[in-house]
Structure 1
Amino acid sequence: MSQLFPGAVVEPVELAEANGMVCIRTASVSDVQNLSVYFTGLSTTSRNKRFMGARTDFALVAAECVARTGRPGYFTLLAEVRQQGQHTIIGEANYTYDATARHGEFAISVADAFQRLGLGLQIMTAMETRAADLGHEMIAAETARTNAEMRGLAKKAGFRDTGLGDWQSVHLAKRLSR
């Protein structure tokens, strides 16, 4: 991809609001601490939307996100801004393939200061490309019915409501193409 950004899964982009380059790359075990710091830095509202409820064990969550890195069908993508030699995580997507259901499932978040700038769509597109490259044909997610931001992002990315949710949640799915 880019020699400046080794490990990038898509071409790095300049995000004016970030005052630097944004790189989307695959997480590794060495990212657990920084990912934990990222989760802690999300607003209470953003954390509740990402985890569909309250969580406080961010070091454990971060470790779980990267624990399966390298195993087929599991990956975490990190969006990080790089400024003056510093790397700061500003978004993430965690993907898990469910062989029984024959579709991938994901969760995604973007740091509060970087929401509504197109970063979420860039992360989702990178995640979908990676899943399609793994041969996966369907990707799905569940979100709270009240999470208008995720529902809007999913619609923009081509997901549809499957009708499988309940009174509190919406189940979204998309067929992947190669």
Structure 2
Amino acid sequence: MTPASTPLTWREAKRRRSMPVTPALGGRHRFNELTFFPYNNVAMQDKSEATNFVPFKVSLCNEREVLVREITGDDKAGLLAAFNKLSADARYARFMAAMQQLPEAMLEQATHPSVEREFALVAIATENKVSSIVAGARYAAAPGSDTCEFAVTVDDDWHRLGLARRLLGTLIDIARSRGFRCMEGYVLSSNTGMRRLAKRFGFSDLACPDDATLRVVTLALQDSERKR
């Protein structure tokens, strides 16, 4: 198991022929949207001095509302509950492996992102006075890289409401403001929902040279205007 202080990107894991635990809760660090959730110094501004994220509310198209905020160490139970709601197919699509449970080490990493190389959001819904995590988004950067990989995940019951779009847009803005030059993600070829969303924001969509079942979506952050 890879220590929390030295998480690997999917490409690094591929080179080392390993499948480490990553802060994005994925075994191979291949991030997929619409299934659930989810690197040291790079040549950019000091992330530890970045402006604190201000939580905001999002009104969705069905009149439901969520609060978007940074993930915290108190979100372990919420993340686990969200994972437990997923179907077997959804878990496979997210982790690209059969996941029956989330190890404590994964939850610990996911809820304590590195200030310098990661950022993670959760969307909280409160219904009948009960609050729960219904979506999450994060990026993570490898050591020495100005490219970050992303993940945006939405609970099945909250699809097609515009939540994924708001989360990805926010994540792009944060990554750009913190000096990252490129954002990319590895997406199942069959995940048309994520591919459409990425295209809407201006991501390119190319075949993954290492895996025919994947697409690589890429956005040049510093050279592009934000799209909706």
User: TM (normalized to structure 1)?
Assistant: 0.83
Higher relative contact order (CA 8 A, sep 6+): 2
Matches within 5 A, 1:69-88: 69=114, 71-83=115-127, 85-88=129-132
Q: Is 2:96 aligned against 1:52? A: yes
Q: Which residue of 2 aligns with 1:167?
A: 212
Q: By how many angstroms is 1:108 displaced?
A: 2.0
User: TM (normalized to structure 2)?
Assistant: 0.66
SS at match of 1:58: coil
**Contact persistence 2:68–2:122 (CA under 8 A):** yes
Amino acid in structure 1 at the alignment position of 2:215? V
SS at match of 2:116: coil
Q: Which residue of 2 aligns with 1:65?
A: 110
**Contact persistence 1:50–1:108 (CA under 8 A):** no
SS at match of 1:88: strand
**Contact persistence 2:140–2:149 (CA under 8 A):** yes
Q: By how many angstroms is 1:102 displaced?
A: 2.5
Deviation larger for 25-34 or 38-47:
38-47
Structure 2: gaps of 5 or more residues: 1-51
Q: Which residue of 2 aligns with 1:89?
A: 133
- Give the fraction of aligned pairs with identical amino acids, expressed as a percent: 25
Amino acid in structure 1 at the alignment position of 2:159? Q
Structure 1: gaps of 5 or more residues: 1-6
Q: Is 2:184 aligned against 1:140? A: yes
Q: Which residue of 2 aligns with 1:25?
A: 69
Higher strand share: 1
**Contact persistence 1:33–1:59 (CA under 8 A):** no
Q: Which residue of 2 aligns with 1:4?
A: none
**Contact persistence 2:182–2:219 (CA under 8 A):** yes
Write the distance in 2 (CA, Å) between the matches of 1:79 and 1:138: 24
Write the distance in 1 (CA, Å) between the matches of 2:167 and 2:103: 22
1:158–1:10 CA distance, 2 compared to 1 (3 A): farther
Give RMSD over aligned pairs: 2.3
Q: By how many angstroms is 1:74 displaced?
A: 0.9
**Contact persistence 1:21–1:83 (CA under 8 A):** no
Q: By how many angstroms is 1:9 displaced?
A: 4.2
SS at match of 1:24: strand
Q: Is 2:68 aligned against 1:15? A: no
Write the distance in 2 (CA, Å) between the matches of 1:97 and 1:50: 19
Write the distance in 1 (CA, Å) between the matches of 2:127 and 2:184: 34
SS at match of 1:106: strand
Amino acid in structure 2 at the alignment position of 1:15? L
Higher helix share: 1
Matches within 5 A, 1:97-136: 97-136=141-180
Amino acid in structure 2 at the alignment position of 1:43? S
